Structure 1
Amino acid sequence: MDQNSITPNTSNQQLVINGDNDSATALLQEKQTRRRETLSDVTFIEYMTVGILCFVNLINYMDRFTIAGVLNDVKKEFNIKDDDAGLLQTVFVVAYMVFAPIFGYLGDRYSRRAIMVFGVALWSITTLVGSFIPNFAAFAFFRGLVGIGEASYSTIAPTIISDLFVGNVRSKMLAFFYFAIPVGSGFGYIVGSVAGAAAGDWRWGLRVTPFLGAVAVFLIAFVMQNPERGQAEDSRMKPTTYKDDLRSLVKNPSFMLSTLAFTCVAFVTGALAWWGPQFIYLGLTLQPGVNITLERVSLTFGAVTMAAGAAGVPLGAWLGTALGKRYPRAHPVICGAGLLVSAPAMALAILLCDGYYYASFALMFIAETALNLNWAIVADMSLYVVIPPRRSTAEAFQILISHMFGDAGSPYLVGVISEALKRSLGGAGAGAGEAPSSGAQFRALQYALFVTCFVEVIGGVFFLLTALYIVRDKLKVDRAIAEAETQNAEPSHSNAQDEAIGGE
C-alpha cells in the first residue's frame, strides 16, 4: 500500500487522501465535532467520571512511590543494600506488567467497572496488610500483589476516557488524567516522609492510601459512568480474536515505535523516582555546612516532581492541541523534543548535585518538566491509532513492553551498578568488609544514574521515527470506524478494519 495515498470506498462516496491531509472520514469527524467541540458539551456525570479516574490515578501513584520517600528507613529496617532496595520496585513492576495483558483482554470483553473495583480493592488491602509484614521476602511478595491490583486499573481507565470523548476534548481529559501521575508521585514522597516522621515509623506512610482506596472503590462501583466501547466515535465494531489483536498491534508501526519510546520514558522515570531522593541526599551531605535529613529531601523532591508535572503535562497537552491543528505529526515530535531537552538537563542535575544546593533541584525541575510533556500525548496517540474494541489490549501491551524493558529493571539495574562501583570506589577498607565512604556511595550512585540520560536520547529518536507513520496509521483507524458505521459490518467483514489489523 502506498503510504502517501489512501483511497477507500465508503457508501459509494470516494475520499482521496494525499500526504498529511487527515480528512479520510469527514462525515464521522463532523458528527464527533458537533457532539464534543468544547468542554461545555461535557455532561456533569462525564466530568464526575473523569474526576473519579483522576482521583484513583492519584492515589495509585501515591502508593507506588511512598516507599521511595522512606527508602533509607526501609533499607535500615530490613538490613538490605542498594540492589535489594531496587528489587522491591522491580518485584512490584514485574507483577504489574505480567498481569496487565490479562486485564487488557478482560477489559475489551467484560465489565470494566467490575474489573476496576476488584483491582483497586486488591491493591488497597495488600498495601495495608504489607505494612505490617516484618520479613523482607514477604514484604516484597505483598508489593507484587499490589502491582497486580494496580495493573487492572491502569490498563482500563484510559479506555473509558477514550469511549467518552474524541478529538481535542479527549486530549484535554487525558491530560487531566495523566496530570495525576507526577502529582501523585510527588504526594507519595511527601506522604511517606511526613506520615513516617509524625508516627516515628515509616510503615505508617503505607497506611494512608488504603483508606483512600476504599473511597475509590465506592465511587467506581456506584458513581462512575461505564460507557459502551467506541461510544464517542459511534463505533459498531466488536472485539476480534486475541490473536488478531496482537497481530494488529505488532504490525502497527506508530503504536510499536511510540511504545518503544515510552519504554525509555518508563526506564528513566522508574530509576529517578526510586533513587532520586537518596541520591540528592547523599550529594547534599557532602557539601560543607549543609545539615539536612532524608525526609526533608524527600519533601523537596516530591514538591519539585509535583511542580514539574503541573507545568509539563498541561504544556504538552496545549502544544499537542495548538500544533496538531497545523502539523499532523506534532504529537510524536513534541514527545521526542521533550526527551532530547530533558537529557542534558538531567545530566547536569546529576553532575552538580554535590557542589550546589539549589542547582540540582532547579535542573531536575527543568528535566522533569520536559519529560512530562509526553504523558497525555503518548496516551492519546496510542488510542487514536488503534480501533476501539482493542484499546484495552493495546494499553495492556504497552504496559507490558514499557515496564518489562523499562522500570521493571531500571531501579534494580541502577542498584546493581551502584553496588559494583562502590567496591571499586570505596578503597581497600570497603573491600575488607568496611562500609564505603559517603563520597564513594554518592559517586557510585551518580555514575549509575547517568545511564538514564543516554536512554532518554534513545527514546527521543524513537518518538521522531513515530512521526513518519502517525498520520497514515490514524487514517486507517478513522476509515475502519467510518466503514463499520456506514455498512453496519462486523469487524472481520470490513476491508478498512482488515487494514487496521495490520495488513498492507
Structure 2
Amino acid sequence: MGQNNHRQALPVSAPRAFASDGDGLVTGGPCGAGGKPGKPGQGGGRSRAGDLQMGAGWALQGRKEAGLGLGTPGIRLGVLLDIQQHFGVKDRGAGLLQSVFICSFMVAAPIFGYLGDRFNRKVILSCGIFFWSAVTFSSSFIPQQYFWLLVLSRGLVGIGEASYSTIAPTIIGDLFTKNTRTLMLSVFYFAIPLGSGLGYITGSSVKQAAGDWHWALRVSPVLGMITGTLILILVPATKRGHADQLGDQLKARTSWLRDMKALIRNRSYVFSSLATSAVSFATGALGMWIPLYLHRAQVVQKTAESCSSPPCGAKDSLIFGAITCFTGFLGVVTGAGATRWCRLRTQRADPLVCAVGMLGSAIFICLIFVAAKSSIVGAYARGWGWLFGPLTCPPLPQYVVIPTRRATAVALQSFTSHLLGDAGSPYLIGFISDLIRQSTKDSPLWEFLSLGYALMLCPFVVVLGGMFFLATALFFLSDRAKAEQQVNQLVMPPASVKV
C-alpha cells in the first residue's frame, strides 16, 4: 500500500510534546541530542553548550535588570526630596517626572514589541540599554533653572527602558517551559523590585557619601554600558518559539493588525492586562510617594526634621529600599511555589495566585495609613505586606499567546497597564495632595495628612485588580487551548514520522 502505510501525521498536540524535559528546560526535538528518536512528551538529551548558553544569557538578564533598576526609577525616588528642594517644585511637579517617564515608555513599548517580533532582539535590547545609560548620565548635569530639561530626560529614559522590558521576557520565554518558565520569568520580574530597592539604597548612600544628589544618577549608567556590551557578546540569539521546538517550523508571521485583533479577542489577555493596570497604578503611586509620606509622618511625630535644603535625610529611602528587595525575593519564591502547588489541584492556578496576592495586599495598604501617624515601625511592617502581594503573580501572556505574538503582547500589555496605571497615578496623587493642602493651613501635619488622603485611592484600585484576575481565571483554560491550536496552524506541515 506504499510508504503511507508506515507513516502518519503528527497529532494536534505535537508542539507540546516537544516542549521540555521534566525540569522544564528545552532539550531538543522529537529526537535527542544524538539524533535518536524520543517518545512524545519526553525530552531528548540536552547539550552542555546549550545549558551554558542559557545560563550565561539568564545571568546577564538578571544583571541587566538589577543594574538598570538602580537608575530608574529607584535612584531618582531615593533622592526625590532633594530634587524637589533643588528645583523648587511641589508634589505635583515631582509626580510629573514619573508620569512623563511612563508616558514615553508606554508609547515606545508597542514599537519595540513590533520590532522584537520581527528583527534581532539582542541588538535592539542592547541599543536600548546604551541609549538609556547615556541619557541617565547626561541628566545629572542639568542646571537648577532647567527643570523642564529634567522632565524631558525622563521621557527619553522611558524610550530606552521600553526596549528591554518588552523584549527580554520573550527571550526568556523561548529558553524555558512549564514550571521552569514560570520560575525564570518570576526571577526576571523580581529583578525590577530588586533593582528599584537597590536604587533607593544606592541613591541615598551615594548622595550621603558625595554630599551631592547628582552623583546618585552617575552610578548605574556605567553598569548599563557594561551590561549592554556583555549581552551583545554572550547572550545567544534564540529563535522565536524555540522552547516549544518550533523555531524552524513556524510559517511567515502574521501582520501587525491581525496580531492586534487576535490579542483584543483573547479574553484572558484582556482581563489580565486590566489587572496589571491596577497593579501598575498602585505600585507606581505607592512606590513614589510612600517614602516621602513616612518621612512626613516622622516630622509630625517630631522624630525627624523637615528638609528645607539638600542633601536631605536618607533613612526612609534606605529602609524602604531594603523592604523592597526583601519582599521581592519572598514574592518570587512564594509566587512560584504557590503556583506550582496550586497546579496540582487546578489548572487555573496562575491567575488565581495573582488574585489572592492582590486582594491580600489591599488590606496591608490600608493598614499603612492606620499605623503611620503613631508608629513608623508598624507602617514599614505593613508596607512589607503590600509589596509582597503583586510580586506573587506569575506572568500570564506567555501561556495564552502564541510565540510569534508574544513580544507584541507584552508590549501592548505594557502600554495598557501604564496608560491606565502609573502613567498618571504619581501625578494624580500629587495633584490631589496639593489640592487638599490649598484648602488648609500650611503645616507639617497637613502635608502628611493630604498625601495620606490622596494615597487612600490605591487600595480600592488594587481590589479592582484582584477582581480582574478572578475574571482571567474564568477564561484561562479555553484561551490557552486556543493558543495551542493556533500554534499547530502556524507550523509548517512537518515531514511525516515513521511509526
Give the C-alpha shift of residue 326 in structure 1: 2.5
For residue 68 of structure 1, report the CA deviation from its aligned partner: 0.7
Pairing 1:307-322 to 2, within 5 Å after superposition = 307-322=326-341
Residue 500 of structure 1 corresponds to none
Q: CA deviation at 1:163?
A: 1.0
Query: Which residue matches 1:48?
Result: 56
The alignment status of 1:407 with 2:422, answered yes or no, reads yes
| 1:499 matched residue in structure 2 | none
1:449 partnered with 2:455: yes
- CA distance in 2 between partners of 1:100 and 1:289 (Å): 43
Which of 111, 119, 122 does residue 113 from structure 1 map onto? 122
- Contact 2:24–2:181 (Cα < 8 Å) also in 1: no
| Deviation, structure 1 residue 476 | 1.2
**Structure-1 residue corresponding to 2:173:** 162
Following superposition, the deviation at residue 51 of structure 1 comes to 1.2
Contact 1:234 1:485 in 2 (8 A): no
Cα displacement (A) at 1:80? 0.5
Q: CA deviation at 1:365?
A: 0.4
What secondary structure is seen at the aligned counterpart in 2 of 1:97? helix
Give the alignment's TM-score, normalised by structure 1. 0.87
Structure 2 distance, partners of 1:291, 1:485, is: 65
Partner in structure 1 of residue 362 of structure 2? 343
Q: Residue in 2 aligned with 1:188?
A: 199
Query: What letter matches 1:401 in structure 2?
Result: T
> For 1:285-296, what aligned pairs fall within 5 Å after superposition?
285-289=299-303, 294-296=313-315
CA distance, structure 2, for counterparts of residue 471 and residue 224 of structure 1: 33
**Is 1:276 paired with 2:290?**
yes
TM-superposition CA deviations, 1:85-137 (whole Å, max 9, x none): 00001111111110111111010001111111110000000000011011100
For structure 2, the 5+ residue unaligned runs are 1-7, 28-45, 307-311
**Distance of 2:22 and 2:492 partners within structure 1:** 18
Give the deviation of 1:79 after TM superposition. Answer: 0.5
SS in 2 for 1:355: coil
2:21 aligns to what SS in structure 1?
helix
Residue identity opposite 2:459 in structure 1: C
- Where in structure 2 are the equivalents of 1:56-135 lying within 5 Å? 56-64=64-72, 65-134=74-143, 135=146
Q: 2:380 aligns with which of 350, 361, 366?
A: 361
Question: SS state of the match for residue 34, structure 1?
Answer: coil
Cα distance between partner residues in 2 of 1:81 and 1:367: 26
Preserved contact between residue 124 and residue 211 of structure 1 (Cα < 8 Å): yes
Residues in 2 aligned to 1:224 and 1:484: alpha-carbon distance in whole angstroms: 27
Residue pair 1:277, 1:294 contacting (<8 A) in 2 also: no
Contact 1:54 1:180 in 2 (8 A): yes
Alignment-mate amino acid for residue 76 of structure 2: I
RMSD: 1.9
CA deviations 1:358-409 (Å, max 9, x no partner) are: 10000110121122111xx1x2x11111110111111110110000110110
Structure 1, unpaired ranges of 5+: 1-10, 16-24, 427-435, 490-504
Q: In the TM superposition, what is the alpha-carbon distance from 1:466 to its structure 2 partner?
A: 0.3
- Deviation at 1:260? 0.3
Post-superposition shift, 1:290? 5.2
Q: State the alpha-carbon separation in 2 of the partners of residues 353 and 316 from structure 1.
A: 28
8 A contact 2:26–2:243 mirrored in 1: no
**Aligned ranges 1:3-22 → 2 under 5 Å:** none
Choose 255-264 or 174-183, whichever is displaced more: 174-183
1:323 matches 2:329: no
Map Cα deviations across residues 50-105 of structure 1 (whole Å, 9 max, x no partner). Answer: 11111111122221121111111100111101001000011111111101111110
Contact 2:400–2:480 (Cα < 8 Å) also in 1: yes
Show the counterpart of 1:424. Answer: 439
Deviation, 1:482, is 3.5
TM-score by length of 2: 0.88
8 A Cα contact 2:361 2:390, kept in partner: yes
Matched position secondary structure for 2:115: helix
Distance 2:157 2:273 in 1: 24
1:232 equivalent to 2:232? Answer: no
- Offset at residue 313 of structure 1 (A): 1.7
| Deviation of the 1:32 alpha carbon | 1.6
Aligned to 1:29: 16
The alpha carbon displacement at 1:288 in A equals 4.2
Alignment length (residue pairs):
456
What CA distance in whole angstroms lies between the structure 1 residues aligned with 2:93 and 2:265? 38
Name the % identity: 39
Return the alpha-carbon distance in structure 2 between the equivalents of residues 424 and 284 of structure 1: 23
For residue 372 of structure 2, give the secondary structure of its aligned residue in structure 1. coil
Partner residue, 1:495: none
